[in-house]
Structure 1
């Protein structure tokens, strides 16, 4: 009989969730400092962020299958150990390529963690406590990205023992070791009674497709679109077709067509993908603009964005009550709230108003993000057939993370291409893209989700 997950055990699982989710964007505020210290170009800076998210995306579903087969606690420990070692490698990087490679390793090991957390909560939490546990997981996972911006600024500014930006990775070492010590004591061991096989061809094709698109978008604008970047772009739709055909024939597909052909699931993923891509591009450009464009130091930049995680958290907790009144209409309303915040921020940037006057804009942007992401997750997972519940969660997280990787590479390249206009001008272009996407999602949300 499976041991019940206690409150202390849930706290450890939430800590384990926070580490990999927060590291997706904790580096963003430190990017200018990293560029100066390692003498890296804009393309390498994008890969420091996107390389992590790419590896995280590619191995998420595989991580879930490994936990189902070999035991979730064992795979969780493996993921935490690998993540901690990779964090140390990041901290001691002496060049841009070293840091990018270490970030890819960090992302790949981080991908082993969330599936075990979700699986353990589902398998070892009593049914009456499970909704609260899942809501806490969703709040922590959603809060992590914007919280990373704040914490990154604080750590770079602290510069303890002259560590500068390296502290954002060194902080993972004691937290990772603490989690490694507590998991064997507090986390029950669970596994699937009927584990699905591992879809290696599907995993390989998904990884190749995202990598081809990311590298083309990352290196194309920097290198003047040489032939190999065009070839990578041409290869992407071919790889997508091969992936679809492979998944239709696979006994245990990575991305089951049965799930993807359900209208609400397909429509929800098509809405959330561009929304998260625009969000990731915004999170990449925002700290660079605040520091290079407005002259803020990392601490000031981190404190300026602090309203976003606070309102994201408030929106997450308000979501159940809002959904009782508006249903899936919350998604469109959230996108509209964010569109208002983005439009106001764009106007402030173009008008050259004092930087601190943008705080209300950031409040609206964070609130809108919480409503869209939370509502889309509920709608998508609620439409997944019960038999595919676990796989549906993997498909959702894979889509979310993959969209953010592509957003950093694509919109990040747009930002760097327009930086000749000044960082504020380049940021205005990014905000224009985000505004268009938010308005499209606001308009399509009700029609797609019903």
Structure 2
């Protein structure tokens, strides 16, 4: 049975300069007057002027909104055994509870970024946050497994509306060192939220607040989302692209088909026994991907509005950052899943202990995230490389600890290894986001943020599907310890690949 972490990722390619983009503005009927309250003043470059600058409280509000989708991606994993018992869900249905959220999230992220560029980023952030609160309530009150699955899919769609607006608003309302610090904090928020999601999930399930059991992991989102809505109305400036683009219907449909045919069979295949349709979908995924790329290239050459402008990938920072992000987030997602399954299913530990074992990693991650911006200013891309090397040493320490303490491996045994691992991860994520987004023009911030987060979320899901399936297959045949060691060694090889790719990053980061 697959009880674990699911996640997905993203990064952003270089964008064409505003001069190279032919604006297309179509008005139906009488032209509408601009609402002074709906968009901040813009200078000729498309960047909001001082009245639209992002305050520290506004940044904190956006980071709170960014944390919610990531926490909810991971928080459900430690609760899956309890959900199975309460709703009589079964393995395949449990996979859909976790995977439905992740697939909808990854598929709609780029579209969410485009819509924010057009209708207003704060407006779409508010809509997405309100929908996230409502769907969280629906998840918490779900009477059966199918209702929970549907609510989780819509919750993933709500997250896809929220998250791209955070990066786009940061890009549009900050410059220079303020932007670098904000992007570093954004990257740190994602990693810490992922770890704390599993920690908090274990504690909430065990606390059984008012007899709510697993339902509390969803119900707790409602007041937090409400607070984010109130704060954003007061502290987050409205921004949008000065050159709003039309929705790329063909590109959106082909991107959705590409991701769905890749992620659905990978995330559901193990639970349903890999029937013929899973292999058919996997075979169709590259076909849809090639068609998507051709359509996007054709749209950009003809002066249209492609969902993902291929020229974005011409930027060294974007292209190099994405190449590093893919193996990094794949390994991160796989590790979180494998540890959750190994500690709970393999060793019989409860959700509280399984979640608490990851707490030192979150603490070290937070400490490294605070240091990372200053280190990047001084050492540039070498911070990312050093963080990846430290993460690799942490993985070796986890393997060594498991063999030394088995079969009595506990949360305290893992503390030193988790500290090293978390510190390395904290030196990677924030600087990596900064590398990828540092040269994205403000007027294309929504597209860039959507591409980055799509890469992130898809890679996290890929890690769960590949490393998770490897672990589950090996554990059934050879036991938990050997399966854990082999899987972490494979992840170590993935980290080594990321280290080799990191030398292609720009030496200095803006």
Both structures adopt the same fold (TM-score exceeding 0.5): yes
What is the distance in 2 between the residues matched to 1:269 and 1:50?
Answer: 23
| DSSP-derived class of the 2:348 partner | coil
- Give unmatched runs, 5+ long, in structure 2: 1-35, 41-50
Partner residue in 1 for 2:502: 445
CA distance change for structure 1 residues 37 and 425 in 2, over 3 Å: closer, same or farther? farther
1:269 to 322, 337, 340: 322
Offset of 1:71 from its aligned partner? Answer: 2.0
What is the distance in 1 between the residues matched to 2:475 and 2:91?
Answer: 11
CA distance change for structure 1 residues 307 and 9 in 2, over 3 Å: closer, same or farther? same
**Is 1:168–2:200 an aligned residue pair?**
no
CA distance change for structure 1 residues 163 and 230 in 2, over 3 Å: closer, same or farther? same
Offset of 1:164 from its aligned partner? Answer: 1.0
Partner residue in 2 for 1:373: 429
| Farther-moved stretch of structure 1 (348-357 vs 391-400) | 348-357
1:184 to 233, 249, 274: 233
Deviations 1:256-285 (A, max 9, x none): 111124344323212211221121121112
Offset of 1:108 from its aligned partner? Answer: 0.6
| DSSP-derived class of the 1:296 partner | coil
Offset of 1:246 from its aligned partner? Answer: 1.1
What is the distance in 1 between the residues matched to 2:250 and 2:284?
Answer: 17
Task: State TM-score, norm by structure 1.
Answer: 0.92
2:483 to 426, 446, 449: 426
What is the distance in 1 between the residues matched to 2:262 and 2:245?
Answer: 29
CA distance change for structure 1 residues 178 and 268 in 2, over 3 Å: closer, same or farther? closer
**Is 1:216–2:265 an aligned residue pair?**
yes
Partner residue in 2 for 1:397: 453
Offset of 1:84 from its aligned partner? Answer: 0.9
CA distance change for structure 1 residues 105 and 419 in 2, over 3 Å: closer, same or farther? farther
Determine if contact 1:268/1:449 at 8 Å carries over to the other structure.
no
**Aligned pairs for 1:144-159 within 5 A:** 144-159=193-208
Determine if contact 2:114/2:447 at 8 Å carries over to the other structure.
no
Partner residue in 1 for 2:3: none
Task: State TM-score, norm by structure 2.
Answer: 0.81
**Is 1:23–2:84 an aligned residue pair?**
no
Offset of 1:25 from its aligned partner? Answer: 0.8
Deviations 1:272-322 (A, max 9, x none): 112211211211121222122233222222222111111111111111233
Deviations 1:300-349 (A, max 9, x none): 22222111111111111111233244321222221111111111212222
- Give unmatched runs, 5+ long, in structure 1: none
Partner residue in 2 for 1:413: 469
Query: Root-mean-square deviation (CA), in Å?
Result: 2.4
Aligned residues: 450
What is the distance in 2 between the residues matched to 1:336 and 1:56?
Answer: 30
Larger radius of gyration: 2
What is the distance in 1 between the residues matched to 2:197 and 2:362?
Answer: 9
**Is 1:330–2:383 an aligned residue pair?**
yes
| Farther-moved stretch of structure 1 (282-291 vs 131-140) | 131-140
What is the distance in 1 between the residues matched to 2:319 and 2:175?
Answer: 31
Determine if contact 1:202/1:247 at 8 Å carries over to the other structure.
yes
What is the distance in 2 between the residues matched to 1:40 and 1:415?
Answer: 22
What is the distance in 2 between the residues matched to 1:128 and 1:325?
Answer: 13
Determine if contact 1:341/1:361 at 8 Å carries over to the other structure.
yes
What is the distance in 2 between the residues matched to 1:150 and 1:130?
Answer: 30
**Is 1:287–2:343 an aligned residue pair?**
no
Deviations 1:93-126 (A, max 9, x none): 3444432322111111111112223333444558
